[in-house]
Amino acid sequence: MIDSSIKLRSRIFYSLAFVFSAAIVVYLIAVLRSLILPSLIGFLLAYITKPVLTFLIKKKFPKWLAVTTIIVGLLLIIIGVGQKIISLFPNKQQLLVLRVQTQAKINDLYLDFFGKTDFNSKGNFLDEIFGSEAIPLLSSFNQFIKLNDKEKDEFFEYINSGNFTSTEKKSILLLFNEVRNLDLPEISAQKEEQVNEKKSPLAILPEIIPTSELTIFFSEFSKWIVMPFVFLFILLDEGEIKKFFINLLPNRYFEMSFAIFDNVDKALGRYIRGTLIQSSLVGSVIILGLILVGFKPGSAVIIGLIAGISNVIPYLGPLIGYGAGILYGMIVPSLHPVIPFIPGDATIIAPVIVVFIAQFLDNTVFQPVVLGKSVNLHPLIIILGVMGGGIAFGFWGMFLAIPTIVVFRVIVSTVYRQLKDYQLIY
């Protein structure tokens, strides 16, 4: 028989060791939060490709050849998809045209919203209530986005380069003349000071970060260098990580700890695979829908990718999809819909309808069929978890909130069942 005092000391020791280890883990996560994303991506890539490695080894591939095949395949996919996505983004000259179009569209929306014929005329009741606050913000926006003299020269050079039809060129030049001849009301000294204080973070970035592009590159590279190491260690792991953690526990808890690792592995696998499929379906529906309502394919793909990735965050993710669609709808001059009954001027309502349809399909078809009960959590728990993760760790806290809750739930439920099976609790 073990003396009761030894049992008491053992309980105290293990309790203190657990609290101390948990505190260290929380501290390291807070300090090394910049490494969370690269490590997470490395872990996810290894988790996704692990079944591929198992399959290749079963097909009599040498392990080194199977790993090499996976790495080469991933590199080809990343480079190919990355180049395709980068090609969809506008270049420097296209951004100049986009800035002119955006400036003109935002000013037109301002006049329409407040019922004004020009910036100095009297508008509707909304103008009486909010006009004095809105005009300084509009002036700040115009000051920030307008082209400087050098950019104007580049703009005209690009417009006259032959990349546009005569109709397109005429339309863009009309917008340029419109924003160049803006007649905004004068702002008082006090209002101007407030506008300067609210200056966009992008405008003050060079003032607060006096670093070169080379410094920024090496800073980011030093963070992302951890990703391939995490990927390789997880991919090549044959149970050593699981054995390491299990060996830290007393032998009496071997079966319980083994069951916990097994259940967490299954739950994470179901969640990751299900979420990837679900988000891909949502993004694909949005891309197809935006193309049908008249968005350019490149813009539709970018918005669909943003909406699909952000869909991982429950409740808040769809709002990002709506926001991306609305922002593009605010700057695009008109639509050229494939569907005949979509009006060409529905630049804002059309993406909202598309994202709404995608979310409806997600809630009624994709989630029940793909995820099933793998994330069967109460909506209040999801909301509190996402908001709490955002407060503690920002965007990636929201991103990781649900899988963390899923793992915690699996651990608690497994421990509870094991304790009852061994009649340690009633």
Q: How confident is the chain (426 residues) per 10-residue block, as mean pLDDT?
A: 66 78 79 77 83 88 89 88 76 85 84 85 86 85 86 88 81 83 57 46 42 58 80 82 73 74 79 84 91 85 87 80 82 75 75 89 81 67 80 75 82 78 62
pLDDT in tens, 12-65: 877 787 788 888 877 877 777 777 778 888 888 887 888 888 889 898 888 889
- 103 and 177, same domain (yes or no): yes
pLDDT in tens, 237-295: 877 777 777 777 667 667 777 788 788 877 877 788 788 888 899 999 999 998 888 88
- 417 and 311, same domain (yes or no): yes
- 165 and 277, same domain (yes or no): no
One-letter identity of residue 149: D
Q: In total, how many domains does the chain have?
A: 3
Domain presence at residue 77: no
Could you give the CA distance from residue 300 to residue 22 in angstroms, rounded to a whole number?
44
- Structure tokens of 315? 């409740």
pLDDT at 284: 92
- 274 and 378, same domain (yes or no): yes
Domain presence at residue 337: yes
pLDDT at 192: 46
Which of left, alpha, beta for 209 (phi over 0: left; psi -120 to 50: alpha)? beta
- 26 and 141, same domain (yes or no): no
Domain presence at residue 153: yes
- 276 and 358, same domain (yes or no): yes
Does the global pTM surpass 0.75? no
- 336 and 401, same domain (yes or no): yes
pLDDT at 42: 85
- 316 and 421, same domain (yes or no): yes
Which residues, including other chains, have CB under 8 Å from residue 17's CB and lie 6 or more apart? none
Query: Side-chain half-sphere of 174: how many Cα atoms within 13 Å?
Result: 8
Per-residue three-class SS string for the chain: CCCHHHHHHHHHHHHHHHHHHHHHHHHHHHHCHHHHHHHHHHHHHHHHHHHHHHHHHHCCCCHHHHHHHHHHHHHHHHHHHHHHHHHHCCCHHHHHHHHHHHHHHHHHHHHHHCCCCCCCCCCCHHHHHHHHHHHHHHHHHHHHHCCCHHHHHHHHHHHCCCCCCHHHHHHHHHHHHHHHCCCCCCCCHHHHHHHHHCCCHHHHHHHHCCCCHHHHHHHHHHHHCHHHHHHHHHHHCCCHHHHHHHHCCCHHHHHHHHHHHHHHHHHHHHHHHHHHHHHHHHHHHHHHHHHHCCCCHHHHHHHHHHHHHHCCCCCHHHHHHHHHHHHHHHHCCCCCCCCCCCCCCCCCHHHHHHHHHHHHHHHHHHHHHHHCCCCCCCHHHHHHHHHHHHHHHCHHHHHHHHHHHHHHHHHHHHHHHHHHHCCCCC
Domain presence at residue 212: no
Which residues, including other chains, have CB under 8 Å from residue 54's CB and lie 6 or more apart? none
Q: Domain residues for 312?
A: 250-426
Domain boundary at 162, 179, 199, which? 199
